[in-house]
Chain A
Amino acid sequence: MKQPSLGFDGFLMVVLIALMQVALIWALVVAPADATQGDVQRIFYFHLGSIWPGFVAFFYVLYGSIRYLMSRDAKWDRRSYASGQVGLAFCTIVLVTGPIWAKPTWGVWWAWDARLTSTLLMWLIFLGYIMLRDYIDDQAKRERLSAVLGIIGASMVPFVYFSTRWFEVQHPKPVVMGDADSGIKDPNMIWALMLALAAFTVLYVVLWRRGTELAEADADLSDLRLRLSALEDEA
């Protein structure tokens, strides 16, 4: 008898669960403790692991919003919205784990430097992007304004990334694609980072696909409700 197929989403879930477990083991057990910071440095793997898919999510919002403004096809709005939601969740992780790491290493929870402030601003813009949809009833206007706000929010990504090079900041210099003297050197630390990046990227894909499906189902149901109301009025 033919076994039921798991499908692409099932395959992604299996990969995600496996990657997440290996990433956790590498980050918490296999990678050595940092010589100066000790165990608290292990926050780094999931802190940085979250901002990467966050950036990917916001870049997709930029792409989808431009596609929407060019075509006025609502599917691009729904895809961008789903990506913005996931990006906001990842950005929230970054903004929560960052201060928890900052307190024992810098002595303060927060510093108003260019990196932290621009990340907070980007988070606020995407929070507005998500909330906007609940406050505008006119669909075309809502989609158009969302696309514009999405483009503004996603334009913050290069600024957030390069802020540590352009300004004097408390935040460390980039570890990925950074200067020769910055970053981690131990192979197990690099593996822990790569596994966390891979796990969170797959998580982004899983959540984005599910979010898009739900946004499309929501739009279909709204359409059905309207058509049914019209039929009931006729009957």
Chain B
Amino acid sequence: MNGLGYLTAAYSAVWLILAYFITSLLLKNRRLLRELSQIEQRVKTLENR
């Protein structure tokens, strides 16, 4: 592998690590929104009792 190959590998690694991290934040955000809607559902059920 020449210098440009190593350079491409390094910069690809930077974006892949950042993409993994940002995706994990987005997934956590989605999980929290799902849990919030479940809680809202439970509150509605409780109010209707």
Tell me whether A228 and B3 are in contact in the complex, defined as CB-CB below 8 angstroms, given that A97-B14, A210-B25, A211-B25 are known contacts.
no
User: How extensive is the interface on chain A, given as a class?
Assistant: 35 or more
CB distance from B20 to the nearest CB of A (A): 8
For B25, the chain A residues whose CB sits under 8 A away are 207, 210-211, 214
B45 and chain A: residue at smallest CB distance: A232
**Which residue of the partner chain, among B6, B21, B22, B49, contacts A101 with CB atoms under 8 Å?**
B6
Contact between B28 and A232, CB atoms less than 8 A apart: no
Tell me whether A232 and B42 are in contact in the complex, defined as CB-CB below 8 angstroms, given that A39-B7, A40-B6, A207-B21 are known contacts.
yes
B4 and chain A: residue at smallest CB distance: A39
Contact between A39 and B21, CB atoms less than 8 A apart: no
For A85, the chain B residues whose CB sits under 8 A away are 21
Tell me whether A232 and B46 are in contact in the complex, defined as CB-CB below 8 angstroms, given that A221-B35, A221-B39, A225-B39 are known contacts.
yes
Contact between A38 and B39, CB atoms less than 8 A apart: no
CB distance from A193 to the nearest CB of B (A): 15
For B14, the chain A residues whose CB sits under 8 A away are 46, 50, 93, 96-97
Contact between B7 and A40, CB atoms less than 8 A apart: yes
For B22, the chain A residues whose CB sits under 8 A away are 207
B9 and chain A: residue at smallest CB distance: A100
Give the interface SS of chain A, mostly helix, strand, loop or mixed: helix
0/1 per residue, A187-221, Cβ < 8 Å to B? 00000000000000001000100110010011001
0/1 per residue, B10-31, Cβ < 8 Å to A? 1101100110011001001100
Expressed in whole angstroms, the Cα–Cα distance for A38 and B1 within the complex equals: 14
For A47, the chain B residues whose CB sits under 8 A away are 10
For A218, the chain B residues whose CB sits under 8 A away are 28, 32
Expressed in whole angstroms, the Cα–Cα distance for A104 and B36 within the complex equals: 51
B16 and chain A: residue at smallest CB distance: A96
Tell me whether A42 and B7 are in contact in the complex, defined as CB-CB below 8 angstroms, given that A93-B13, A93-B17 are known contacts.
yes
User: What are the 5 tightest A-B residue pairs by CB atom distance, in nearest-first order?
Assistant: A40-B3, A43-B10, A89-B21, A100-B10, A39-B3
Q: A207-B25, A221-B32 are in contact. List 7 more A-B contacts (CB 8 A).
A: A39-B3, A39-B7, A43-B6, A89-B18, A89-B21, A207-B21, A221-B35
**A interface residues (Cβ-Cβ under 8 A, vs B):** 28, 37-40, 42-43, 46-47, 50, 85-86, 89, 92-93, 96-97, 100-101, 103-104, 203, 207, 210-211, 214, 217-218, 221, 224-225, 228, 231-232, 235
